Amino acid sequence: MNTAKKIIAYQGQPGAYSHLSCRRVHPEMEPFACDSFFEAMFMVERGDAALAMIPLENSTAGRVEEIYRLMPKTKLHIIGEHFEPVNHCLLALPGVKEEELKTVSSHPQALAQCDGNIKEMGLEPIASLDTAGSAKELAESGERSHAAIASSLAAELYGLQVVRENYQDKSGNTTRFLIVAHDSHMPALEADVKFMTTLLFTVRNIPSALYKALGGFATNGVNMVKLESYMASDTMQASSFHLDVEGHPYEQSMQYALQELNFFAKDVRVMGTYPAHPFRYRQDAIIEE
């Protein structure tokens, strides 16, 4: 479909941080808002969208557990990653002054991340389903004493003013997104490019199975940067794993490591190989305050 080739799906209301990431990474594509991660991912599966921007983890809130359960049920491939710094903004109706504000709404995580500033201003927090949704509701309500915590994009889309930028208590809050497509896009191996490879697998029911399955990465000098476990079935008898490693399957060290993984694990699936995002190697990426 020609139309589908121009669409990148995401979960949330227009103005969400997923929407902001879509515009930042693929400004040439049309972002499409979905009510759920399932809908966003299966739009790509059905061919109704070319890509989906899916959040996997946040430096403050941790992993998005639902994604680990959904990913094995799809035939999607990871073709890229994006790290989006979360810049919460305090939004209000145009012309409203700080001293007029009494209440503020947002997603519970955003409220928690801005708790110090909310208390300092004496605002009453009100939990909402998401950040962009709270901005939309504020614009529709016309309540001058009410504020919302959301992105600057949400302010732009819903005609709100930014009362305060960087409203979070601590800087460094970052979300990692995966960019998924229907077809595999194995990039060519380049000596000056750092690659990430994401794998899914289930360990065999034998002693030390996980230790043995991962041993090949250690002995071949392949750096494992993320390992997450989840239950892939209703039997509760076998654990499945999501593994991110630094490397490309065409490298000899990775080939040896993958041979060992395949020997001691089952249902091994390479979800994708993609260039590592520059954020991973920035020493100043996270600033403590």
- Asked if the structure places residue 284 within a domain, the reply is no
Of the residues 37, 177, 217, 264, only one is catalytic, namely 177
- Asked if the structure places residue 82 within a domain, the reply is yes
Residues 260 and 119 in one domain: no
Residues 216 and 274 in one domain: yes
Q: Tell me the pLDDT tens digit for each residue of 123-152.
A: 999 999 889 999 999 999 999 999 999 999
pLDDT at 281: 86
Of the residues 131, 175, 197, 273, only one is catalytic, namely 175
Q: Burial-class residue 6 by CB neighbours within 10 Å (0-12, 13-18, 19+).
A: middle
- Asked if the structure places residue 288 within a domain, the reply is no
Residues 135 and 69 in one domain: no
Average pLDDT over residues 142-167: 97
Domain with residue 143: its CATH number is: 3.40.190.10
Residues 147 and 263 in one domain: no
Average pLDDT over residues 157-185: 94
Residues 75 and 25 in one domain: yes
Is 131 one of the catalytic residues? no
Q: Burial-class residue 248 by CB neighbours within 10 Å (0-12, 13-18, 19+).
A: buried
Q: Tell me the pLDDT tens digit for each residue of 194-243.
A: 999 999 999 877 788 899 999 999 999 999 999 998 876 655 666 889 99
Please identify, among 122, 153, 181, the residue that sits at the C-terminal boundary of a domain.
Answer: 181
Residues 261 and 143 in one domain: no
Residues 137 and 115 in one domain: yes
Residues 34 and 46 in one domain: yes
The domain tally of the chain equals: 3
- Asked if the structure places residue 102 within a domain, the reply is yes
pLDDT at 251: 97
Q: Tell me the pLDDT tens digit for each residue of 112-124.
A: 999 999 999 999 9
pLDDT at 234: 59
Q: Which two tokens stand for residue 201?
A: 């697998």
Average pLDDT, the chain: 92
For residue 154, count other CB atoms closer than 10 A to its CB. 30
pLDDT at 62: 82
Residues 224 and 126 in one domain: no
For residue 42, count other CB atoms closer than 10 A to its CB. 19
pLDDT at 235: 58
Q: How far apart, in whole angstroms, are the C-alpha atoms of residue 214 and residue 203?
A: 10
Please identify, among 125, 150, 181, the residue that sits at the C-terminal boundary of a domain.
Answer: 181
Is 177 one of the catalytic residues? yes
Residues 13 and 135 in one domain: no
Residues 72 and 135 in one domain: no
The range of the structural domain enclosing residue 206 comes to 195-279
Alpha-carbon separation of residue 86 from 18, 27, 277, 288 (angstroms): 10, 19, 16, 15
Q: Which residues of 43-80 are buried (b: 16+ CB within 10 A; e: fewer)?
A: bbbeeebbbbbbbbbbbebebbeebbebbbebebbbbb
3-state secondary structure of 242: strand
Amino acid at 219: T
